[in-house]
Chains A and B, each alone.
Chain A
Amino acid sequence: MPGIPKPHGGRLVERVLSDKRRLMAIEEARELIGLEISREVAIDLENIARGVFSPLEGFLTRNDYEAVLDTMRLEDDTPWTIPIVLDISEEEIKEKEISEGDEVVLQYSSTPIAFMNVEEIYAWDKKRHVVKVYKTDDVNHPGVARTYEMKDRLIGGKIELISSIKNPFEKYTLWPKETRVLFKHKGWRSIAAFQTRNAPHMGHEYVQKTALTLTDGLFINPLVGRKKKGDFKDEAILKAYEVLIEKYYPKDRVVLAVLRTEMRYAGPREAVFHAILRKNFGCTHFIVGRDHAGVGNYYGPYEAHEIFKEFPDLGIEPIFFREFFYCKICLGYMNEKTCPHKDTEYVIRPSGTKIREMILRGEIPPKEVMRPEVARVLIEFGNPFVE
């Protein structure tokens, strides 16, 4: 059995001010140049500060940024696939007289969130960025659209967290330090992580339970944060998992906690990014299904499997799954490798679109597709989808 891995880059980053220092910091913050940030940036600041994004200690400086775009690694060769950057406009730089070497305070709704040492201010080419990260410059891709909305300069540098923004999912928020202690306390030496932005259907359940047959524990880690229209609402996903785990999972072998960050929809690159974050949480294995972190038809269904071949030094083992379906002849969940009836009328594939339509009509999907208890929870929401 592998044992809980070391954090990515070898050390769990901790950049949170102590309680004592925080009081002084709020005073100090008043003296510094303030930069207003979005809710998503404020959340990712906490991810940096509490080690979810280890080894990052701040927003990428130019060399790291370029290396991530070109090689999918930081400048020091550590695998890292999604650029974590902070944008700023030229007008703001001029107006606030910000220059390299300054210390600024990042604030959300005028509340100081973090100190930042402005190590570098640099220009970026958004088209090059989106083509590298999203493999397209089509503005219909949600990640591309968001990138084009960003400001024209990036600032890189280390941060220190002063305070966290309000978290509606406090009950389900665990930081890497905590999951590592929790897994150790449970005596788990192998843990499979499951990333999701969906309410669970039977296919998900089958994948998770198959992984759990190979590992000591299962870490169900739904991503909560900004998503595109039509995705499940965060609250709906959590309620659905609560009921599923309560009725159908061995509770001593499952942990449910959220990952607070936005979906980038960067497909294969995001799959590797998701795996790295789960390694920081202390997981040994990462489940990669069909079209992981994909959207539309921008990525091949198993492109996110292929990319892992480029990272023998990732430090977390991917578990690849093909699409699962229910077979009326085999009487169970199967995949194309295990079922000879895959292209026949005896196969029921859990389709996200069909589930969505039925839930919105208040209908419970067939039990081969979704647990009725899960469906009922979703129907109670009225509209459990992001509008």
Chain B
Amino acid sequence: MDEEKSKKYTTVSIPVQLYEKIKKLIEGTGFKSVSDYVTFVLREVIASIEEEEKEEVFTKEEEEKIKERLRALGYID
């Protein structure tokens, strides 16, 4: 079932002018088709969006130091 699913494709429409631009752009690159390129770019975009959703990671020590100042200023109890 999973294998079947992975083989399925769907169609999305893009303006012809954009399609032509991409076709030219990928000449001489490793991309075999416009579809390959678009799939690549969309994956990249989605990954960057997901990346942005991640919160900043501070070390425990750093976070505690910051919280100390926030407490001193009255921002947290």
Q: How far is the CA of A171 from the CA of B74 in the complex (A)?
A: 9
In the bound complex, do residue B56 and residue A282 qualify as a contact, i.e. CB atoms below 8 Å apart?
yes
B43 within 8 A of A: no
Sorting the interface of chain A by its residue count into under 10, 10 to 19, 20 to 34 or 35 or more gives 20 to 34
Q: Are B54 and A178 in contact (CB under 8 A)?
A: no
Cβ-based interface call for A327 (8 A): no
For B54, the chain A residues whose CB sits under 8 A away are 3, 6
Rounded to whole Å, the gap between the CB of B28 and the closest CB of chain A is 23
The reply to whether B56 and A12 contact each other, CB–CB distance below 8 Å, is yes
CB of A180 within 8 A of chain B? Answer: yes
B52 and A181 contacting across the interface, CB-CB below 8 Å: no
Give how many A-B residue pairs fall within 8 Å (CB-CB).
46
Interface presence of A5 (CB below 8 A) = yes
Q: A2 within 8 Å of B by Cβ?
A: yes
The contact string, 1 if C-beta is below 8 Å from chain A, for chain B 33-67, is 00000000000000000011111101000110011
Q: Inside 8 A of A180's CB, which chain B residues have their CB?
A: 55-56, 58
Q: Which of A6, A7, A186, A255 has the most CB of B within 10 A?
A: A6
Contact of B73 with A171 in the complex, beta carbons under 8 Å: yes
B75 contacts chain A at the CB level, 8 A cutoff: yes
Residue among A4, A255, A282 with most chain B CB within 10 A:
A4
Q: Give Cα A174–Cα B76 distance, bound, in whole angstroms.
A: 13
CB contact between A182 and one of B52, B53, B70 (< 8 Å): that residue: B70
Q: How far is the CB of B1 from chain A (nearest CB, A)?
A: 33
Pair A174/B56 contact, Cβ less than 8 Å: no
The complex places the Cα of A282 from the Cα of B53 at a distance, in Å, of 11
- Once A177-B66, A182-B70, A185-B67 are accepted as A-B contacts, the answer to whether A3 and B55 lie under 8 Å apart by CB is yes
B70 pairs with A4, CB closer than 8 A:
no
Q: Which of B56, B58, B62 has the most CB of A within 10 A?
A: B56
- A185-B55 in contact (CB<8A): no
Q: Is residue A267 within 8 Å, beta carbon to beta carbon, of the partner chain? A: no
Tell me the bound Cα distance from A149 to B62 in angstroms. 42
> Given the known A-B contacts A181-B66, A181-B70, A185-B67, are A174 and B52 also in contact in the complex, defined by CB atoms under 8 Å?
no
Contacting residues, chain B, for A184 (C-beta < 8 A): 55-56
B residues within 8 A CB of A186?
A: 76
Rounded to whole angstroms, the CA-CA distance of A177 and B65 in the bound complex is: 11
Pairs across A and B, CB under 8 Å, 19 listed? A4-B56, A5-B52, A5-B53, A6-B51, A6-B52, A6-B54, A12-B56, A174-B73, A177-B66, A178-B66, A180-B55, A180-B56, A181-B58, A181-B63, A182-B75, A184-B56, A185-B67, A185-B76, A282-B56
